[in-house]
């Protein structure tokens, strides 16, 4: 569908089209459409813009990714449809491998996501391996790659479900997420929650990493130490109530 740029909801409809295209290409699950709808509702309540509390989280996330020993970026069907180019670029600048990890199990979809990422300039894309799994999780998301999430200290999991976030934490991983819903279990449990649309947050995260890569580890660790995720979530809720 072609939406005229003059349409007052142009940007929101453009992003919605990316998800629909993802489903048509077999990258995104049908359930991904409802997950996207929930995100849209929260984005609307947040005024569809990046707030100061999200900038604070982006700065802490950039610091944590740059100081991590073995960071990994987890990719699902929604993230791949919305920000495949950005995921490839982020993987190169940190550097960190991308690892496909989907909730609605499908080997075919995993391979389609992998090919889509590679077509969009990603280089290191790992797939889960059924011989390896994390503990405390029963869904398809327990399977991991031995060179990726299994040995990661920091896992970046945009648009995640709460179960897996909790399991990753119990497995000793630090979790960074992007989630428009400040009330979700993932938002509440993650070490760092970027309450913003993934489409707006990814370019800002890369810009911040580029700026922060000149900083020494002491300065980056100081940024992480001063970061308060609970306060960020409270500020996001206050913003929703005010609008």
Write out the residues near ligand PTJ by the rule CB under 6 A. 29, 31-32, 35-36, 38-39, 42, 76-78, 82, 102-104, 159, 161, 178-181, 184, 197-198
The rounded distance, in Å, linking the Cα atoms of 178 and 87 is 13
CB of 194 to ligand PTJ, least distance (A): 8
The rounded distance, in Å, linking the Cα atoms of 148 and 75 is 12
Tell me whether residue 107 or residue 225 sits nearer to ligand PTJ (CB atom): 107
The rounded distance, in Å, linking the Cα atoms of 36 and 212 is 31
Tell me whether residue 58 or residue 220 sits nearer to ligand PTJ (CB atom): 58
Contact 107, 143 (CB under 8 A): no
Nearest to 187 by CA among 235, 243, 241, 143: 235
Name the residue with the smallest CB distance to ligand PTJ: 39
The rounded distance, in Å, linking the Cα atoms of 54 and 43 is 13
Tell me whether residue 184 or residue 208 sits nearer to ligand PTJ (CB atom): 184
Sign of CA dihedral 40, 45, 49, 53: negative
Contact 117, 80 (CB under 8 A): yes
Tell me whether residue 171 or residue 181 sits nearer to ligand PTJ (CB atom): 181
Tell me whether residue 139 or residue 147 sits nearer to ligand PTJ (CB atom): 139
Contact 232, 177 (CB under 8 A): no
CB of 124 to ligand PTJ, least distance (A): 20
CB of 217 to ligand PTJ, least distance (A): 29
CB of 123 to ligand PTJ, least distance (A): 22
Chain mean position to CA 222: 23
The token pair that represents 115 in the structure block:
């090919």
Contacts of 165 (CB under 8 A, 6+ apart): 157, 175, 177, 185, 186, 189, 190
CB of 147 to ligand PTJ, least distance (A): 21
CB of 62 to ligand PTJ, least distance (A): 17
Tell me whether residue 67 or residue 193 sits nearer to ligand PTJ (CB atom): 193
């Amino acid at each position: 569908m072609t939406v005229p740029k003059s349409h007052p909801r142009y940007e929101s409809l453009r992003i919605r089209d990316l998800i629909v295209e993802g489903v048509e290409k077999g990258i995104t699950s049908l359930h991904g459409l409802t997950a996207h709808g929930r995100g849209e509702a929260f984005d609307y309540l947040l005024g569809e813009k990046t707030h100061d509390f999200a900038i604070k989280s982006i700065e802490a996330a950039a610091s944590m990714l740059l100081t991590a020993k073995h960071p990994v970026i987890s990719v699902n069907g929604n993230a791949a449809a919305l920000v495949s180019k950005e995921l490839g670029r982020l993987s190169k600048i940190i550097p960190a491998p991308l690892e496909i990890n989907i909730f609605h199990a499908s080997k075919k979809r995993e391979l389609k996501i992998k090919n889509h990422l590679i077509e969009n300039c990603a280089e290191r894309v790992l797939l889960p391996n059924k011989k390896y799994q994390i503990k405390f999780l029963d869904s398809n998301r327990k399977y991991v790659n031995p060179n990726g999430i299994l040995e990661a200290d920091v896992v970046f999991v945009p648009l995640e479900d709460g179960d897996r976030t909790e399991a990753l934490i119990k497995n000793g991983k630090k979790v960074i997420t992007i989630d428009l819903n400040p009330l979700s279990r993932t938002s509440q449990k993650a070490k760092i929650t970027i309450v913003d649309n993934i489409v707006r947050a990814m370019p800002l995260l890369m810009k911040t990493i580029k700026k922060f890569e000149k900083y020494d580890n002491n300065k980056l660790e100081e940024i992480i130490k001063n970061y308060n995720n609970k306060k960020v979530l409270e500020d996001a809720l206050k913003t929703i109530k005010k609008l």
